[in-house]
Amino acid sequence: MGIYSRHVFPRLCDRAMRRSEMARLRSELLADVDGEVLEIGFGTGLNLEHYPEHVRRLTAVDPGEGMGRLGRRRIARSKMEVDHRVTGAESLPFEDDRFDCVVTTWTLCSIPAVRRALSEVYRVLKPGGRFLFLEHGLNDDPSVRRWQHRLTLIQRVLADGCRLDLDVESVVRSQLFREVEVARFLLEGTPRLLGSIYRGVARK
Ligand SMILES: C[S@@+](CC[C@H](N)C(=O)[O-])C[C@H]1O[C@@H](n2cnc3c(N)ncnc32)[C@H](O)[C@@H]1O
């Protein structure tokens, strides 16, 4: 892991992801979580202030060291109790059927083995538990898609592994979830390349 990944990108990412429109979407998604909650791709902890009052404990994973450093500072300033683990989602260090909710926001794009990670999400959810996600991905317009495929190579370098062309809905639907609901919309003030949003809930 180089200097860019450890020191530069986490700060850039934290600043870019703090926008008020994104904060509003975080609050809307998280309003509905309850019970034992796992957040995957905790990053710099931008979701912390958006968890509802009844969620005071969180388990969080993220393999990024630099992200983790900023994330732990936010944890220290928060009233929530967070069990923060520096690890990837492809092999979660938790027993089967443990969590009521698993959450990801703007994370699936950065996970190299995303299907493997989603099968882990399914495994650690209790029967009836929910996976809530707010992600960016592939646009429906073929000309935008073409550019998303072309520019993913550059985006991966600039944004520490993030790809522009993940078909979020189909990777979630490829798992064993009983029900999947997905809403698609554009993020205000963001080019379609990066602002094609998938917000959804999948139930085990
Ligand atoms: C764009 S950031 C989003 C951070 C945070 N979820 C947010 O909404 O602000 C993507 C995050 O995915 C994390 N990530 C990358 N690979 C991962 C993996 N294999 N498992 C879990 N998280 C991963 C990165 O370290 C980074 O924190």
Output the six-digit token pair for 137. Answer: 């991905």
Cα distances (Å, whole numbers) of residue 183 to 134, 168, 180: 10, 11, 10
pLDDT of 180-203, one tens digit each? Answer: 999 999 999 999 999 999 999 999
Q: Is the pTM of this model over 0.85?
A: yes
Output the six-digit token pair for 135. Answer: 């992600």
Cα distances (Å, whole numbers) of residue 92 to 38, 95, 138: 10, 8, 26
Q: Do residues 32 and 91 lie in contact, with contact meaning Cβ atoms separated by under 8 Å? A: no
**Ligand 1 site, residue 63, Cβ cutoff 6 A:** yes
Provide the residue count of the chain. Answer: 204
Mean pLDDT of the chain: 97
Q: Give residue 2's pLDDT.
A: 87
pLDDT of 11-49, one tens digit each? Answer: 999 999 999 999 999 999 999 999 999 999 999 999 999
Output the six-digit token pair for 149. Answer: 């495929």
**Ligand 1 site, residue 110, Cβ cutoff 6 A:** yes
- Distance, in Å, from the CA atom of 83 to the CA atom of 192, rounded to the nearest integer, reads 35
- In testing the pocket of ligand 1, which one of 109, 110, 121 has its CB within 8 Å of the most ligand atoms? 110
**Ligand 1 site, residue 168, Cβ cutoff 6 A:** no
What is the set of domains in the chain, with CATH numbers? 3-203 (3.40.50.150)
Cα distances (Å, whole numbers) of residue 42 to 46, 85, 179: 8, 9, 25
- Distance, in Å, from the CA atom of 132 to the CA atom of 51, rounded to the nearest integer, reads 13
